[in-house]
Amino acid sequence: MPDLQHDDDQDRTDIGHGHAISWYTRGPDETRVGVLIWHRALDTGDDATEHAGGVYFDVPESVGLTGARWQLVSLDPLHIEPSVLCSCGDHGFIRDGHWIPA
Ligand SMILES: [Zn+2]
């Protein structure tokens, strides 16, 4: 999707429990349409491997993007539902701007 932009990797926000987020944005106003969730991979046995799992919000601006949608309850502080589960087993909620392990 050519108009989908992603924040620079340096522009992450710590949300606790070893998790950080950065934004997917779209359009000239850089509307936030999703979030990348950075975390240490749980299935590699080392502390160096990092995962970035992305989800899109169920907002009108995400039309046309391929992938599942999460309900955007609040953008600031970020709250999405339901929980987010990575292929490595990392599982939790983002509520009130914080990572809450499931
Ligand atoms: Zn993972």
> At which residue do the structure tokens 């108009």 appear?
3
C-alpha of residue 85 to centroid of ligand 1, in Å: 8
C-alpha of residue 37 to centroid of ligand 1, in Å: 9
C-alpha of residue 102 to centroid of ligand 1, in Å: 14
Q: What is the pLDDT of residue 9?
A: 61
C-alpha of residue 77 to centroid of ligand 1, in Å: 23
At 40-75, the pLDDT tens digits run 998 887 878 899 999 999 999 999 999 999 999 999
pLDDT(83) > 60: yes
What are 87's strand-pairing partners? Answer: none
C-alpha of residue 70 to centroid of ligand 1, in Å: 18
| Preceding amide of 60 cis, omega within 30 | no
Q: Give the global pTM.
A: 0.89
Q: State the amino acid at position 99 in one-letter form.
A: W
Q: What is the pLDDT of residue 1?
A: 44
Q: What is the pLDDT of residue 10?
A: 67
d(CA 58, CA 9): 24
